C-alpha cells in the first residue's frame, strides 16, 4: 500500500492535521480517522448525497473527494452546525417540520440546505427541489423536507 | 350508529400541519385528547439533526477488525471448491471463513415475523457451500486490520464453480423443463398442507375459494380478465446493511447492528451458530431505513464467526452494489385476474392466478398477495391461486405491505376499466362495493370495523377530486389498497423519576418516530407532557422479547404495552397516595394527571409530579410494566388520487398532483402519520414509473447502483397532500391502527388509471417507464 501522508486542512473552523493513505476518501477519513461519524455513507459512489459536506463553500459528496485533495481547504460537516447557543436554524426547522424519519440522510440534507441558503436566502420551491435533487431520502417523500427548508429560509431572513 | 349514508362529514386542516395536511371529520365525533393528535418534537430528533445518532456503521470498539465478503460473480453455479489459503497468508489478515466454519444446518421452519424461513436455506444464504443462486451470493469472508487489506485478501480466495443456466422468469421457472434451483424444494400446498413428491421451483401453492365462482361470473353483466407483470424492485433504504460482532472467550456473542428486530437477529444468530439465545446479545443501533428488508440476517453470523476465529471484534459493511445484488428485493410477478360485475355495478365474482418470484429460496409474500387482492371489496364469489416460485435472484424479502402493491395494480385497473364500461363514477363504484364490518374476505376472514368506505367519502369531499384537471395529455386516476396491519409481542418498562418525568424503555427499534408515538401514549394516560417521557430503545438483555418493527405494528402494539405500563404506574401511585394519606387503596383514584381520594374520605389530591418526589419514602421507586401479545390490530385502507401529464414525444410521466387518503384509526403524532403516507406514496411512484432490476440473460444484475436503479428525487415528485381518516380501531384504547405500509399500495394503480385517462392507453406492466409508455402509445396509434 502507498505510504500515508499528513494532510493539513480546516474542519469546522479548526485546523486539523491527519495521517491518511492516498486511496482514502474524505468520507472515510472523516469517519474512520477523525471519528466524525455524523457524515453518513449511503452508496460511496456519489449517487445518494448522504455524505454531503461543504468544501470551500460548495456542497460535495465526500465519498467522491480524496482526503489528500482537501489539503489547505475548509471543510464544514454536520458536527460544526450547532453552537453552544443551540441548534442551527436549519436543524430547528428539520425538527419542527418532522422532516426526518430514519434520519440517515438528514445530515446530508442539512448540509446541502446550508449550501443552498448560503447562496440564495429565499429560494422558491422549485429551486429547493432542484438544489436538493442530489440527496436521496427513501422515508419522507421529501414533502416535509421541502417545508423545513422553506421554514429555515424564512427564519434566516428574519 | 347511524347508517353511513346519514352520517355527516367535512374535511378540514389537521391542526399543526401545512395546508396540504388535512383530515376527514365526522360531525360530533372529534376525538378529545391532550397529547394524542399533537405534534411534539421527537425525542431522538436532536441527535439525528446533529449527526450524533449512532447507526450500524458508527460503532467503534477497541481492537476492531474490518471485514470483507467475497461474493459470487455467477447467477447460478455449483461450488466445486473454495481455497482460502492465499488470503490467510496476507499480512494484516486475522481470519478467513466459509460456510464450513458455521455449524451445519437442517431443514426446519423459523418464523421471522414478516415471513417464514427454512434454517438450512438461511444458512446457505448467509454463506453458500453447495450452490450460488444469484450474483452477489456470499461465499467467503475475511477479517483484517483494514477493510482495504480484507478486500485485497478476499480477491486471492480461489473458488471453482460449475456454471449452470440461470432461471429468471416465474412462468419459465414453473415449467417441467426448467432447471431446478434447490433440489430439496417440494411444492407445499396450502391451506390443505400437502407436499409434492418431485423437486421443483414451485415452493408453495396457496388456494382460496369462496361461494360459487362460476355462477358469480354467469350473473355478471361485464367480465374483464387481464394479465399483468411487475419487475423485481428493492426497498432502497439509504443505510447499507452492517454488522459488528464480538465472540468473547466465555462464549458470549454480542452483535451491534441496525435491524428492524433485535430479538429476531438474536434468534437467527443463535440458531445459525447453534448456541442458546442466552449466549447472544443484540445491541440495536439506529436504523437507516428497512421497509421489511432489515429483518433477516446476512452479515451478523459471519461477523460472529470471524470474531471467534480472530478473537477480536469484527465489523462487516455492505456497499451499495452488495445491497442491490444480495439483499432486499421484493418479487417481480405475473398475474392473471378476472372480475365480474352485474348491471347495477355490484361485483359478482373475482378470480386470480398469481405467480411471485421467491428469489433464490422459498419465501415470497404470495400469501398476503392472495389475501389482499380482493380485500377492498365485498366479493361474494372468489377463487385465488398463488404460487411462490424460486428464480436466480436474491432471496426476496418483505417490502412495505408485501404483496399488496402487486395485486392492487391488477384489481384497481380492472375496476377502472369496468367503471368505464358501465359508465359509472369510480368513486360511486367503490362506495357501493366497499368492504364493510361483517363482510367476509375470499380467504375466509370476517372484517371488524374498517374504513374503506370512509376513505371514499374523503375522496368525494376532497378539493383534489372536486377540482377539474385541464390541459392536453393530462389525466386523473384513483385507486384503493388494503393492508392487514399486525399486533404481536411488545414490552415496555417505565420508571417514574423524582422530578415527575418517566424513563421509558422498549424493545422496538425506532425506524421512523415510534419513540415519540409510544411515549405520547404513555403520557396521555398519565396526564403528563410528551416531553416528560424519555423513551430509549434498549438491547435484548434489557427488556422482554419484542417482535420486529414491521407489519405496521409498533405504534399499535408497543403503544398498547406503553398504555399498560402507564396503567400499572397509576395503580402503584394510588397505593402510594393511600399510604401518604393513611386511607384504603380502593379509596384512591387516578384521573387527569392527579391522584384523588374518593369514597367518602376527606377530599385530597396530589399531582403526578408531587407524588413522584415522595416515592422513596413510601416504598421505593415505581416501575410500570406493560407486556402484550396484541391481536386486534384492525385493517388499513387507503385511496389515492393522482393527476399525471404524459409527454407524447418521450413517454415520460410527470405526477402533477397527488393526494393520499388513509384510515389510520387514530393519528397519535400526525406529522409522522403524514410522513408515512407521503413516504409510501414516493416509494409507490418510484415502483410505478421507474424502478426495476435489469438482468442480463446471464442472470447478472446490470443496475446495482442508485444511479442506475433510480429512486425518486425531490425534483421528480410533487407536494404530496394527505387526508387522514380516523375510524377508531376498537382493539386499542385510542383507536390506533397501523399506518406505515398501506400507503405504498395504491400509487401504481392510481397512476396507471391516470395515464389511461390522459392517453387512452392502459398499461398493465410495471414500471411504466418512458420506453414502455412510448411503445404503448405508438402501438395504440397503429
Give the pLDDT confidence score for residue B601 in this predicted structure: 67
**Cβ distance B543 to B491 under 8 Å?**
yes
- Angle between the B559-581 and B514-526 helix axes, to the nearest 10 degrees? 30
Q: Answer yes or no: is pLDDT of B434 > 90.
A: yes
Share of chain B above pLDDT 70, in %: 99
Q: What is the pLDDT of residues B37-91, one digit of tens each?
A: 999 999 999 999 999 999 999 999 999 999 999 999 999 999 999 999 999 999 9
| pLDDT reported for residue B28 | 87
What is d(CA B41, CA B671) in angstroms, rounded to the nearest whole number?
10
Mean pLDDT of B10-37: 94
Interface check for B237 against chain A (CB to CB < 8 A): the answer is yes
Q: Nearest residue of A to residue B240 by CA position? A: A42
B704 touches chain A (CB under 8 A): no
The ipTM assigned to this model is 0.98
Residue A158 has pLDDT above 80, yes or no: no
Q: Which of residues 562-621 of B touch A (CB under 8 A)?
A: none
Q: In what order do the strands lie in the sheet with B594-597?
A: B588-591, B594-597, B605-607
Q: Strands B138-144, A58-61: parallel, antiparallel or unpaired by DSSP?
A: unpaired
User: How do residues A20-78 score in pLDDT, each as one tens digit?
Assistant: 999 999 999 999 999 999 999 999 999 999 999 999 999 999 999 999 999 999 999 99
**CA gap B695, B166 in Å, rounded:** 11
B469: left (phi over 0), alpha (psi -120 to 50) or beta: beta
Cβ within 8 Å, pair A144-B671: yes
Task: Compare CB distances from A79 to B51, B236, B288 and report the shortest one's residue.
Answer: B51
Interface test with A, best of B288, B705, B712, B723 (most A CBs within 10 A): B288
Shortest Cα distance, chain B CAs vs residue A94, angstroms: 7
**Contact list, B48 vs chain A (CB under 8 Å):** 100, 103, 106
Positive/negative CA dihedral, B601, B607, B612, B614: negative
Query: For residue B5, what pLDDT is reported?
Result: 63
Contact flag A44-B238 (C-beta cutoff 8 Å): no
Distance from B350 to chain A by nearest Cα, in Å?
Answer: 34
pLDDT, tens digit, 9 for 90 and up, residues B589-633:
998 889 999 876 678 999 999 999 999 999 999 999 999 999 999
A147-151: long-range contacts at Cβ-Cβ below 8 A with a sequence spacing of 24 or more?
Answer: A147/A97, A147/A99, A147/B18, A148/A90, A148/A93, A148/A94, A148/A96, A148/A97, A148/A99, A148/A113, A149/A90, A149/A93, A149/A113, A149/A116, A149/A117, A149/A123, A150/A125, A151/A93, A151/A96, A151/A97
| pLDDT band of B729, cuts 50, 70, 90 | very high
CA separation for the pair B478, B455 (Å, rounded):
12
Residue contact A140–B679, C-beta within 8 A: yes
Q: Cβ of B238 and A48 within 8 Å?
A: yes
Q: Please state the rounded mean pLDDT for residues B575-583.
A: 94
Q: Are B357 and B389 in contact (CB under 8 A)?
A: yes
Closest CA of chain B from A18, distance in Å: 17
Nearest CB to B51: which of A38, A45, A130? Answer: A38
Q: Do A102 and B289 touch (CB under 8 A)?
A: yes
Contact B60 A35 (CB under 8 A): yes
Asked if B675 lies within 8 A of A147 by C-beta distance, the reply is no
Give the alpha-carbon dihedral of A65, A53, A59, A16, to 10 degrees.
Answer: -70
Cα→Cα distances B283→B55, B229, B409, Å: 11, 40, 39
- CB of A38 within 8 Å of a chain B CB? The answer is yes
CB contact at 8 A, B244 and B301: no
Count residue pairs from A and B with Cβ separation < 8 A.
Answer: 184
Q: Alpha carbon of B371 to those of B17, B151, B315, B401: distances in Å?
A: 35, 45, 40, 12
Residue A152 in this model has a pLDDT that exceeds 70: yes
Answer whether B679 sits within 8 Å of A106, measured CB to CB: no
What is the rounded average pLDDT for all residues in chain B? 96
The 3-state secondary structure of B696-755, one letter per residue: CCCCCECCCCCCCCCCCCCCCCCCEEEEEECCCCCCCCCCCCCCCCHHHCCHHHHHHHHH
Does residue B113 surpass a pLDDT of 90? no
The model's pTM is 0.97
Residue of A nearest to B684 (CA): A141
* DSSP strand pairing (B253-257 vs B242-247): antiparallel
Restricting to B residues 113-152, those with a Cβ less than 8 Å away from any Cβ of A are: 148-149
Q: Do A95 and B237 touch (CB under 8 A)?
A: no
**The C-alpha cell that represents A64 in the structure block:** 467522491
Question: Across chain A, what does the average pLDDT equal?
Answer: 96
Q: Treating both helix axes as pointing N-terminal to C-terminal, what angle do B747-759 and B670-689 enclose, rounded to 10 degrees? A: 50
3-class SS of residue B765: strand
Between residues 533 and 562 of chain B, which touch chain A (CB distance below 8 Å)?
none
The verdict on a CB contact (< 8 Å) between B320 and A82 is no
The mean pLDDT of B711-725, rounded to a whole number, is 98
Grid cell, residue B91, equals 499480512
Of the candidates B58, B675, B714, the beta carbon closest to that of A132 is on B714
CA–chain centroid gap for B403, Å, is 11
Amino acid at each position: 500500500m502507498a505510504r500515508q501522508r499528513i494532510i493539513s486542512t480546516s474542519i469546522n473552523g479548526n485546523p486539523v492535521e491527519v495521517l491518511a493513505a492516498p486511496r482514502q476518501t474524505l468520507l472515510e477519513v472523516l469517519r474512520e480517522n477523525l471519528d466524525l461519524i455524523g457524515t453518513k455513507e449511503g452508496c460511496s459512489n456519489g449517487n445518494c448525497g448522504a455524505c454531503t459536506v461543504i468544501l470551500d463553500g460548495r456542497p460535495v459528496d465526500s465519498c467522491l473527494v480524496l482526503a489528500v485533495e482537501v489539503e489547505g481547504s475548509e471543510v464544514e460537516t454536520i458536527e460544526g452546525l450547532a453552537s453552544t447557543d443551540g441548534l442551527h436554524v436549519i436543524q430547528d426547522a428539520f425538527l419542527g417540520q418532522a422532516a426526518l424519519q430514519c434520519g440517515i440522510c438528514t445530515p446530508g440534507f442539512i448540509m446541502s440546505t446550508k449550501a443552498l441558503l448560503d447562496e440564495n436566502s429565499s429560494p422558491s420551491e422549485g429551486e429547493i427541489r432542484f438544489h436538493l435533487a442530489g440527496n436521496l431520502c427513501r422515508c419522507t417523500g421529501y414533502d416535509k423536507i421541502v417545508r423545513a427548508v422553506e421554514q429555515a429560509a424564512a427564519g434566516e431572513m428574519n | 350508529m347511524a347508517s353511513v349514508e346519514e352520517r355527516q362529514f367535512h374535511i378540514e386542516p389537521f391542526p399543526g400541519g401545512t395546508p396540504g395536511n388535512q383530515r376527514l371529520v365526522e360531525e360530533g365525533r372529534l376525538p378529545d385528547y391532550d397529547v394524542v393528535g399533537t405534534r411534539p418534537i421527537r425525542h431522538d430528533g436532536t441527535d439525528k439533526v446533529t449527526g450524533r445518532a449512532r447507526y450500524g456503521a458508527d460503532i467503534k470498539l477497541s481492537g476492531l477488525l474490518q471485514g470483507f465478503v467475497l461474493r459470487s460473480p455467477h447467477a447460478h453455479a455449483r461450488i466445486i471448491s473454495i481455497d482460502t489459503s492465499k488470503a490467510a497468508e496476507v499480512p494484516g489478515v486475522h481470519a478467513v471463513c466459509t460456510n464450513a466454519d458455521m455449524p451445519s444446518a437442517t431443514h426446519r421452519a423459523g418464523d421471522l415475523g414478516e415471513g417464514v424461513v427454512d434454517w438450512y436455506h438461511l444458512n446457505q444464504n448467509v454463506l453458500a457451500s453447495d450452490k450460488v443462486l444469484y450474483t452477489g451470493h456470499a461465499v467467503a469472508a475475511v477479517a483484517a486490520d483494514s477493510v482495504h487489506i480484507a478486500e485485497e485478501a478476499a480477491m486471492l480466495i480461489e473458488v471453482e464453480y460449475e456454471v449452470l443456466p440461470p432461471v429468471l422468469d416465474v412462468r419459465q421457472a414453473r415449467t417441467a423443463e426448467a432447471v431446478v434451483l434447490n433440489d430439496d424444494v417440494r411444492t407445499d400446498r396450502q391451506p390443505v398442507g400437502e407436499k409434492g413428491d418431485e423437486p421443483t421451483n414451485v415452493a408453495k401453492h396457496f388456494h382460496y375459494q369462496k361461494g360459487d365462482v362460476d355462477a358469480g361470473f354467469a350473473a355478471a353483466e361485464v367480465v374483464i380478465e387481464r394479465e399483468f407483470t411487475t419487475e423485481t424492485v428493492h426497498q432502497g433504504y439509504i443505510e447499507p446493511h452492517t454488522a459488528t460482532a464480538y465472540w468473547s472467550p466465555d462464549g458470549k456473542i454480542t452483535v451491534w447492528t441496525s435491524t428492524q428486530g433485535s430479538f429476531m437477529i438474536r434468534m437467527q444468530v443463535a440458531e445459525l451458530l447453534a448456541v442458546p439465545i442466552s449466549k447472544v446479545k443484540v445491541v440495536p443501533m439506529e436504523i437507516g431505513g428497512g421497509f421489511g428488508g432489515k429483518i433477516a440476517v446476512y452479515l451478523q453470523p459471519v461477523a460472529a464467526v470471524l470474531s471467534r476465529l480472530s478473537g477480536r471484534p469484527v465489523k462487516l459493511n455492505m456497499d451499495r452494489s452488495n445491497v442491490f445484488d444480495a439483499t432486499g428485493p421484493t418479487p417481480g410477478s405475473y398475474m392473471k385476474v378476472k372480475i365480474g360485475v352485474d348491471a347495477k355495478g355490484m361485483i359478482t365474482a373475482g378470480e386470480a392466478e398469481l405467480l411471485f418470484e421467491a428469489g433464490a429460496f422459498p419465501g415470497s409474500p404470495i400469501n398476503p398477495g392472495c389475501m389482499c387482492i380482493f380485500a377492498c371489496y365485498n366479493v361474494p364469489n372468489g377463487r385465488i391461486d398463488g404460487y411462490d416460485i424460486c428464480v436466480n435472484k436474491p432471496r426476496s424479502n418483505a417490502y412495505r405491505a408485501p404483496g399488496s402493491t402487486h395485486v392492487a395494480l391488477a384489481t384497481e385497473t380492472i375496476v377502472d376499466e369496468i367503471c368505464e364500461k358501465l359508465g359509472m363514477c369510480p368513486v360511486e363504484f367503490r362506495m357501493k362495493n366497499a368492504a364493510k364490518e361483517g363482510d367476509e374476505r375470499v380467504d375466509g376472514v370476517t372484517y371488524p370495523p374498517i374504513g374503506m368506505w370512509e376513505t371514499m367519502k374523503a375522496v368525494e369531499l376532497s378539493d383534489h377530486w372536486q377540482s377539474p384537471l385541464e390541459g392536453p395529455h393530462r389525466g386523473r386516476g384513483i385507486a384503493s389498497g388494503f393492508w392487514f396491519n399486525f399486533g404481536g409481542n411488545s414490552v415496555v418498562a417505565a420508571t417514574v423519576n423524582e422530578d415527575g418525568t418517566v424513563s421509558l424503555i422498549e424493545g422496538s427499534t425506532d425506524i421512523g418516530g415510534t419513540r415519540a408515538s409510544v411515549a405520547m401514549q404513555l403520557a396521555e394516560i398519565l396526564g403528563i407532557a410528551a416531553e416528560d417521557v424519555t423513551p430509549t430503545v434498549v438491547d435484548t438483555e434489557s427488556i422482554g422479547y419484542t417482535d420486529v418493527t414491521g407489519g405496521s405494528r409498533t405504534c399499535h402494539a408497543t403503544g398498547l404495552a406503553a398504555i399498560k405500563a402507564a396503567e400499572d404506574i397509576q395503580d402503584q401511585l394510588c397505593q402510594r397516595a393511600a399510604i401518604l394519606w393513611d386511607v384504603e387503596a380502593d379509596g384512591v383514584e387516578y384521573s387527569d394527571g392527579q391522584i384523588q381520594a374518593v369514597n367518602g374520605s376527606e377530599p385530597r389530591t396530589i399531582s403526578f409530579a408531587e407524588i413522584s418526589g415522595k416515592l422513596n419514602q413510601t416504598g421505593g421507586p415505581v416501575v410500570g410494566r406493560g407486556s402484550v401479545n396484541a391481536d386486534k390490530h384492525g385493517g388499513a385502507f387507503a385511496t389515492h388520487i393522482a393527476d399525471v401529464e404524459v409527454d407524447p414525444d418521450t413517454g415520460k410521466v410527470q405526477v402533477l398532483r397527488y393526494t393520499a387518503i388513509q384510515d389510520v384509526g387514530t393519528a397519535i403524532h400526525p406529522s409522522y402519520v403524514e410522513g408515512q403516507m407521503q413516504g409510501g406514496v414516493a416509494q409507490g411512484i418510484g415502483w410505478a414509473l421507474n424502478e426495476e432490476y435489469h438482468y442480463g440473460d446471464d442472470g447478472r444484475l446490470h443496475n446495482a447502483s442508485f444511479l442506475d436503479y433510480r429512486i425518486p428525487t425531490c425534483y421528480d415528485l410533487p407536494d404530496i397532500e394527505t387526508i387522514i381518516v380516523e375510524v377508531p380501531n376498537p382493539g386499542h384504547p385510542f383507536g390506533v391502527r397501523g399506518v406505515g405500509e398501506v400507503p405504498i399500495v395504491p400509487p401504481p394503480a392510481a397512476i396507471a388509471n391516470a395515464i389511461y385517462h390522459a392517453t387512452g392507453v392502459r398499461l398493465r406492466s410495471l414500471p411504466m417507464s418512458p420506453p414502455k409508455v412510448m411503445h404503448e402509445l405508438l402501438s395504440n396509434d397503429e
